[in-house]
Structure 1
Amino acid sequence: MRLTNFFGDVTREMKKVSWPKRQELFRSTLTVIATVVLFGIFFAVVDMGISSLIRLVLE
């Protein structure tokens, strides 16, 4: 009984959800991918810089 009520409530709530349009979803996905790539490049450059600095200090 409680499980059926739960799934009934979930169904009702899912009908209230405002789903994004295709164009909005596409733009958001591109934004996320671009941000992840840029942060990846940034951290790779910082990592290389710190590694070079540590090598200079240890030599």
Structure 2
Amino acid sequence: MQKENFFQGVVSEMKKTSWPTGKEVVRDTTIVVLTVLFFILFFFAVDLGITELIKLIN
């Protein structure tokens, strides 16, 4: 009995959910991938810079 109420509640809430369109998913995924690539390159450059500074000190 309790399971039925739970699943009815889940179905009811899922109907209220606003799902993104395909274009929104592509746009948001592109933003995430580009942001991750930016930070990969940024931290790579910082790492290279710190490595070179350490080489100069030694």
TM-score between the two structures when normalised by the length of structure 2: 0.83
Deviations 1:5-47 (A, max 9, x none): 2222122111111101111111111111111101110011001
Runs of 4+ in structure 1 over 6 Å off: none
**Alignment match, 1:50:** 50
Aligned with 1:48: secondary structure? helix
Identity of aligned residues (%): 48
Q: Distance in 1 between matches of 2:47 and 2:5?
A: 52
Unpaired runs of at least 5, structure 1: none
**Alignment match, 1:26:** 26
Q: Distance in 2 between matches of 1:20 and 1:50?
A: 42
Find out whether 1:4 has 2:14 as its counterpart: no
TM-score between the two structures when normalised by the length of structure 1: 0.82
Count of residues in Structure 1 that have an aligned counterpart in Structure 2: 58
> Taking structure 1 as reference, are residues 3 and 54 closer, same or farther at Cα in structure 2, changes over 3 Å only?
farther
Shifted more, 15-24 versus 1-10: the winner is 1-10
Q: How big is the alpha-carbon RMSD for the aligned residues of Structure 1 and Structure 2?
A: 1.3
Unpaired runs of at least 5, structure 2: none
